[in-house]
Structure 1
């Protein structure tokens, strides 16, 4: 459960809490430090496509940057950019897929970046490329989910928070989880992506997916 007040104990920052939490997650996934754990042995031959998209102006989605940093710290070559560049993201994934050099696809976005992540998935569906995991924070005007998404998790507000639930499109057969944060004190559109527990959850889910390949 997230801390509704979004406060850390004295001397601790949100980033340090996220790092500490991820240390436990990574230990569980990979075993003791320095050991070749199951995550290493089960890694896909081709590198994954993990893309994170910021929202408006790139200044309100610093939680997305923290997730990107945590993924990189765990050895994942993730990529981060603006919602305006979603077509370039889709083109890059398709080019890598056509060349046979693309592993599992993971898309993560906040606000307009959440909308854009779904747009990327829609374009990939036309080329029969699957998205293994989609994580969205406070999507503002999301399209219905296309049929190529295996699992989608969405953090939204049913009231007072400016973020909509995701809905399945006609071809969607994956797993969809909408998590409502309406009523959580001091948690809203501009900081839902900055909640350490949610950041850790998204990173953990991503690492598990990449472990399975």
Structure 2
């Protein structure tokens, strides 16, 4: 009798068990970068809104790419997309915990970001941060927004500071870049503000702060 010979059924079961064990080991040892990125991107959602025609807001696309590399979910829209942005946010928040939310807009896109944030107050959706870059309107400001940061140039006739709406001044930070030699000295103006390295770096810090 050949004691080394195993029944064919037993061989099949042993092979299946070996495959199952190997699969579990591979799953346990697989890199977790994808899951880490989802977890990092999940806690905050960023919507960016370009200015008129999107021609002079290319810096927002650069900033969005940087955020996406850091695992932060970011989408870029045109300034006429306020209704679509609000609808998407409402859909994402329906029946779910209210996750941190950030709106960023340049020029007419800044106006749109302010308007979307104010409309979201009607939907009982809080907004953690609104960043505007030389918006042409100073509001509306809404009570559901935890923090406003506004970059503007007081010397031009396009952008303006944020004010009004009964929002506490401690929640609104107006930054006149005319007082920032490291920014205005580089020739930065209304049309080029989104591409300024200093402004981009500061906005990135504000968004990461909101994500914590």
Normalising by structure 2, what TM-score? 0.74
Q: Which residue of 2 aligns with 1:202?
A: 203
5 Å-filtered alignment, 1:83-98, equals: 83-98=79-94
Q: Secondary structure at the match of 2:141?
A: coil
Q: Distance in 2 between matches of 1:45 and 1:156?
A: 29
* Deviates most, 44-53 or 62-71: 44-53
CA distance 1:74–1:45, shift in 2 (3 Å) = closer
1:14 maps to none
CA distance in 1, matches of 2:58, 2:170: 29
Asked if structure 2 preserves the Cα contact closer than 8 Å seen for 1:48 and 1:104, the reply is: yes
Determine if the alignment matches structure 1 residue 70 to structure 2 residue 71: no
Which among 127, 131, 134 is matched to residue 135 of structure 1? Answer: 131
Question: 8 Å contact 1:137–1:154 — kept in the other structure?
Answer: yes
- How far off is 1:102 after superposition? 5.0
> Structure 1: which 5+ runs fail to align?
1-33
1:127-206 aligned within 5 A: 127-160=123-156, 162-171=158-167, 175-182=171-178, 184-185=184-185, 186-206=187-207
Pairwise CA distance, 1:49: 2.4
Q: Give CA deviations for 1:167-195 in whole Å, capped at 9, x if unaligned.
A: 13125576111011237241210011111
Q: CA offsets, 1:95-123, max 9 Å, x none?
A: 11113165111000101000000010011
The count of corresponding residues between Structure 1 and Structure 2 is 174
Distance 2:192 2:106 in 1: 10
Range moving further from structure 2, 141-150 or 123-132:
141-150
- Deviation of 1:139 after TM superposition, in Å, equals 0.2
How does 1:28-43 map onto structure 2 within 5 Å? none
The structure whose Rg is larger is 2
Q: Which secondary structure does the structure 1 equivalent of 2:208 belong to?
A: helix
The answer for unaligned runs of 5 or more in structure 2 is 1-30
Aligned-residue offset at 1:200: 1.2
SS of the residue 1:83 aligns to: coil
CA shift digits 1:49-90 (9 cap, x unpaired) = 210000011111011111101100111111111011011101
Q: Is contact 2:40–2:71 with CA below 8 Å preserved after alignment?
A: no
Contact between 1:47 and 1:102, CA under 8 Å: does it hold in 2?
no
Q: Give the SS at the match of 2:105.
A: strand
Cα–Cα, structure 1 residues 92 and 151, in superposed 2: closer, same or farther, change >3 Å? Answer: same
